[in-house]
Amino acid sequence: MGRGPIRLAPFSLVAPALAYASNSFVLKGPATLALVRMVKTVLGIIGGSGIYEIPGLENPQWQTVKSPFGTPSDQLLTGTFHGVDMVFLPRHGRGHIQTPTSINYRANIDALKRVGVTDLISVSACGSLREELPPGTFVMADQFIDRTVAREKSFFGPGLVAHVPMAHPVCPRLSGALTLAAREQKIDHSEGGTYICIEGPQFSTRAESFLYRDWGCAVIGMTAMPEAKLAREAELPYAIVCMVTDYDCWHDEHEHVTVEAVIKVMHSNAGNARKLIMAVAPQLGPDRQPSTCPDRPETVLDYALITAPEKRDPAMIARLDAVAGRVLKK
C-alpha–C-alpha distance, residues 89 and 62, integer Å: 10
Just list the catalytic residues.
246, 248
Residue 134: band (very low, low, confident or very high) from pLDDT cuts 50, 70, 90:
very high
Q: To which H or E segment does residue 272 belong?
A: helix 259-284
Between these two residues, 52 and 61, which has the higher pLDDT value? 61
Q: What is the pLDDT of residues 251-266, one digit of tens each?
A: 887 776 677 777 777 7
Q: What is the pLDDT of residues 136-150, one digit of tens each?
A: 999 999 999 999 999
Between these two residues, 264 and 99, which has the higher pLDDT value? 99
Q: What is the pLDDT of residues 270-309, one digit of tens each?
A: 889 999 999 999 999 999 999 999 999 999 999 999 999 9
pLDDT at 5: 40
Q: To which H or E segment does residue 314 belong?
A: helix 314-319
pLDDT at 264: 72
Q: What is the pLDDT of residues 75-94, one digit of tens each?
A: 999 999 999 999 999 999 99
Whether the model pTM is above 0.85: yes
Q: Taking the CA of residue 85 as centre, how many other CA atoms within 13 Å lie in the half-sphere pointing to its CB?
A: 19
What residue ranges do the domains of the chain occupy? 17-328
Average pLDDT, the chain: 88
Using a pLDDT cut of 70, give the percent of the chain over it. 87
Q: Is 223:91 a contact under the CB 8 Å cutoff?
A: yes
**Secondary structure (DSSP) of 30-80:** SS-EEEEE--B-EEEEEE-TT----TT-EEEEEE---BTTB--SS-EEEEE
Between these two residues, 324 and 24, which has the higher pLDDT value? 324
Identify residue 251 by its one-letter amino acid code.
H
CATH number, domain 17-328: 3.40.50.1580
Q: Is 36:27 a contact under the CB 8 Å cutoff?
A: yes
Q: To which H or E segment does residue 269 belong?
A: helix 259-284
pLDDT at 171: 98
pLDDT at 54: 84
Q: In terms of Cα–Cα distance, which of 134, 126, 138 is closest to 253?
A: 134
Q: Is 39:286 a contact under the CB 8 Å cutoff?
A: no
Q: What's the full length of the chain, in residues?
A: 330
